[in-house]
Amino acid sequence: MKVMLARGMTFPYASELLKSLFVEVADRDFRLDGKVPTDSRVSLVSGVHRKEVSRLREVLESGEESVPEVISLGAQVVAQWMGAAPYVDEGGHPRPLARFASEGAELSFEALVARVNRDIRPRVVLDEWLRLGVVEIDEDGRIRLHAGAFVPSKGFDEMSFYFGHNVHDHAAAAAHNLLGGEPPFMERSVHYDGLSADAVAQLARQASTLGMEALVAVNKNALSLTKRGGTTSLPRQRMTFGVYFYAEASDEAAAEAPPAVSKAVAAKPPGRPSRKKA
């Protein structure tokens, strides 16, 4: 809500967006015998008026997720930079790269971009990434990956894409488990209350380090599996693996409680929502 209001998204706009989501999900996920539902059935399931259903279904015809071009190319380039030889060092960290192939041969930004797409100029990618804060140029003129993963720090459109993508997939995994889907998705967390600011800062650093190690390891394996490829008659699938950390001030009661009263709670196994005692 805070993001919506900050970007000028009013209630009427949000209401229209929510209405279209109800129609989209009712159309896609509540079919009988796999048949495309009529406007009347979508209206019945969603509660949206039939005339509105007809209008919104026309708008939602494609149903494709729109990925900004800089995201599509950038994600592929960073995946190579973080998971493929010779772009990672012995510790698995992305190496700083020379700008031109004439300076660093294969270990250059120019060669890295060409490895993914030869139709786009590396200079264009570099200028955009410098603008977004994804890379930086060090004192030796080498290009360093500034973000641990391709999450632009300045471009709102690019950040919005990841915001929507990550929130959707996290919520979808939780909804799958809540509805008893099998097999359940991994969806767990650890949460404490009544910690000091210093303790939270220490935990944030630990979470960042361990989280990035996990992301880099999964990325490296996924890249290897992608290269292995192979033909299959089964439908293709996509996946998302993510980590997050959040902290805020406790309420007054929790803040006044002694540290010994603070509690740590690990989430219940996937698919089993926690229950609070009355």
- Write the DSSP assignment of 141-188 as a string of letters: S-EEE-SSSS--SS-HHHHHHHHHHHHHHHHHHHHHHHTT-SSPPP--
Collect all residues with Cβ–Cβ distance below 8 Å to 142 and sequence separation of at least 6.
Answer: 96, 97, 98, 99
Helices 50-59 and 11-29, axial angle in degrees (round to 10):
90
Instruction: Please provide residue 137's backbone torsions phi and psi, each rounded to the nearest 5 degrees.
Output: -105, 125
Domain ranges in the chain are 2-59, 69-145, 194-262
Instruction: Please provide residue 213's backbone torsions phi and psi, each rounded to the nearest 5 degrees.
Output: -60, -45
What's the CA gap between 194 and 262, in Å, rounded?
A: 5
What's the CA gap between 135 and 78, in Å, rounded?
A: 10
Kindly state the helix (H) or strand (E) to which residue 135 belongs, with its residue range: strand 135-137
pTM: 0.51
Q: Note down pLDDT in tens along the chain; length 278 residues.
A: 776 666 556 677 678 878 888 998 899 889 998 889 999 999 999 999 998 999 888 877 755 445 555 556 777 888 888 888 889 888 878 899 999 999 989 999 999 999 888 888 899 889 888 887 889 999 999 999 975 555 555 666 666 777 778 888 898 899 899 889 999 999 998 999 889 999 999 999 999 999 988 988 998 899 888 877 665 667 888 999 998 898 988 865 444 544 433 344 444 444 444 433 33
- CB burial class (10 A; 0-12, 13-18, 19+) of residue 122? buried
Contact (CB, 8 A) for 241 and 188: no
What's the CA gap between 101 and 118, in Å, rounded?
A: 13
End-to-end CA distance of the chain: 30
Collect all residues with Cβ–Cβ distance below 8 Å to 35 and sequence separation of at least 6.
Answer: none
pLDDT for 234 equals 75
pLDDT for 259 equals 47
pLDDT for 132 equals 76
Give CA angle at 223 (158, 185), nearest 5°: 75
Domain 69-145 top-level CATH class: mainly alpha
Which pair of structure tokens corresponds to residue 268?
């219940």
Contact (CB, 8 A) for 250 and 194: yes
User: What SS3 state is found at 251?
Assistant: coil
pLDDT for 203 equals 95
pLDDT tens, position by position, 154-205: 666 666 777 778 888 898 899 899 889 999 999 998 999 889 999 999 999 9
